[in-house]
Amino acid sequence: MTGEVRTIEIGALTRVEGEGAVKVFVREGRVEDVQLSIYEPPRFFESLLIGRPLEETPDIVARICGICPVAYQMTCVHALELILGIEISAEIRHLRRLLYCGEWIESHGVHMHLLHIPDFFGCSSSLELARKFPDEVKRGLRLKKIGNQLVEVLGGRAAHPVSVAVGGFYRSPQVNDLRKLAEAFRWGIDASIDVVKWIADFEFPEWHRPCEMVALQNTTEYPMNEGFIATTNNAQAAIRVADFEQVFREYQVDHSTALHSQRVPSNSAYLVGPLARINLNRPLLAPCALQLSEEVNVNWPCFNPFQSIIARALESLHAYETGLQLIQEYGGCSPSRFQYEPCAGEATWATEAPRGLLYQRIRTTADGKIEFAKIVPPTSQNQRQIELDLIHQLATRGLTDDPTTTLACERLVRSYDPCISCSTHFLKLEIHNQ
């Protein structure tokens, strides 16, 4: 059913929106396998980068995703700076963390308020939900908007910001421009607290099936731009990002243009994303988010994919709190960018995109061109785990050939916030009896 497992030299860089379908394979009434088919046309970013001047990398990789361009930019500039021997200043570090906060707020905001919450009220969209809960939807839109505004101040525009440079920023923001956002962030913290409380009271399906969750971890702060790789299966094991490809392996399956990924040597699936992050890093949440995480009715570590929306809500609050602190501490950034001499080299880096761990390996030539790039986005890593969870869900609830089965599958898939959120709206359920 699935393709043979092979090691592939260069990973795919297919974004995973597009036509989505779930194929369920049944033998003698038992669900034998599930295929989440993704037919997003490949765009070949890793090949397109080859031969390009390295300073263009952040602009090009941003175009992989219109929802989380900053994640791709952040990962590549850190990898390139490692090659070039650039040590960025604390100010640049803080600005990058702030920029990432803006993207988490915006991306989590889109998923929670526009894509996911309508599911809990049986609505087809936030537009329909707005008829029942106008204030809540408007609050969600405003929360998302403030994230966009922060990215706009730091990067000129929310989608594909233009300020991120290898070595720092093309220009750092004026202190006053950032401070103007402080008031909105104070409102955002209060509103986000209400959102967490609102969402935590939703009804969630039961789920008793742990899986391996993987996220960055570091000793001092909730992970965004840096860390080592941690897993819920072995809390003691700190995996170096440089060893990523020894521990995780991409492989192609016939039913998806996005490569799958698995643990080595166990060949097992794993999950990245907000639930993985919070399970592995909860004590490092900002104060209000940490306190609320203890008050909500969730047993940590939480393995219920439906409750990942609570993780997203807590992380949005965390990003608002962290963002406000960084805005208040900001006193300018000079120089905004460090100069460098091009050199040949190779480096790896990983950051935490809103949807989870994002890994890149980049090699440069002596004259400052990209020679090789490998990019492993979060959603492609999650594909197999989503399939396994679908098998579990169908086995638990029983298989009926009616719309409720389709809806249940759709809701489960959407709860992972895959970059195929949009395609799962017209999820086609095919049942193959064998």
Partner 1 sequence: MNAYSVKKDWFEPPRYKPRLAVFKFASCDGCQLQLLSCEDELLELADKVEVVHFLEATSHIEPGPYDIALVEGSITTHHDQHRIYEVRAQSKVLIAIGACATAGGIQALRNWGDHTEFLRAVYAKPDVIDSLSTSTAIADHVDVDFELRGCPINRYQLLEVVISFLAGRRPRIPQHSVCMECKRQLMVCTAVAHGTPCLGPITHAGCGAICPRFGRGCYGCFGPAGQANCDSLADNYLATRSNTQTLVPLLRNFNAAADEFRETGDRVDEQSDSGVAK
* Residues 331 to 370 in contact with partner 1, rule: CB under 8 A: none
33, β-bridge pairs: 25
Q: Is 399 an interacting residue with respect to partner 1 (CB under 8 A)?
A: no
360, β-bridge pairs: 349, 375
Regarding beta strands 20-27 and 428-433, do their DSSP bridges make them parallel or antiparallel, or are they unpaired? parallel
Exposure of 371 in the CB half-sphere (CA atoms within 13 A)? 13
Q: Is 81 an interacting residue with respect to partner 1 (CB under 8 A)?
A: no
Site for partner 1 in 104-143 (CB under 8 A): 110, 114-115, 124-128, 130, 134, 137-138, 141-142
CB nearer partner 1, residue 142 or residue 263: 142
Token pair of 188 as six digits = 């955002």
CB nearer partner 1, residue 158 or residue 319: 158
C-alpha 157, offset from chain centre: 20
Q: Decide if 272 contacts 288 (C-beta within 8 A).
A: no
Number of residues that bind partner 1 (CB under 8 A): 76
Q: Is 416 an interacting residue with respect to partner 1 (CB under 8 A)?
A: no
Exposure of 9 in the CB half-sphere (CA atoms within 13 A)? 2
Q: By CB under 8 A, which span of 81-89, 95-103, 384-392, 420-428 interacts with partner 1? A: 420-428
In the complex, minimum distance from the CB of residue 3 to partner 1, in angstroms, rounded to a whole number: 6
CB nearer partner 1, residue 146 or residue 213: 146
Site for partner 1 in 19-58 (CB under 8 A): 39-48, 50-53, 56
Distance CA 227, CA 431 (A): 42
Q: By CB under 8 A, which span of 176-184, 216-224, 356-364, 421-429 interacts with partner 1? A: 421-429
In the complex, minimum distance from the CB of residue 50 to partner 1, in angstroms, rounded to a whole number: 8
Token pair of 125 as six digits = 């969209």
Q: Is 291 an interacting residue with respect to partner 1 (CB under 8 A)?
A: no
CB nearer partner 1, residue 37 or residue 304: 37
Q: Cβ neighbours of residue 402 under 8 Å, at least 6 residues apart?
A: none
Exposure of 225 in the CB half-sphere (CA atoms within 13 A)? 20
Token pair of 121 as six digits = 């009220």
CB nearer partner 1, residue 31 or residue 427: 427
Token pair of 343 as six digits = 């050199």
CB nearer partner 1, residue 255 or residue 277: 255
From residue 78, alpha-carbon distances to 74, 83, 166, 354, 394 in Å are 6, 9, 8, 17, 42
Distance CA 159, CA 66 (A): 6
Q: Could you give the string, one character per residue 240-269, with x where binding to partner 1 holds by CB under 8 A and - elsewhere?
A: -----------xx-x--x-x----------
Site for partner 1 in 181-210 (CB under 8 A): none
In the complex, minimum distance from the CB of residue 144 to partner 1, in angstroms, rounded to a whole number: 6
CB nearer partner 1, residue 231 or residue 380: 380
25, β-bridge pairs: 33, 432
Q: By CB under 8 A, which span of 22-30, 155-163, 218-226, 391-399 interacts with partner 1? A: 155-163
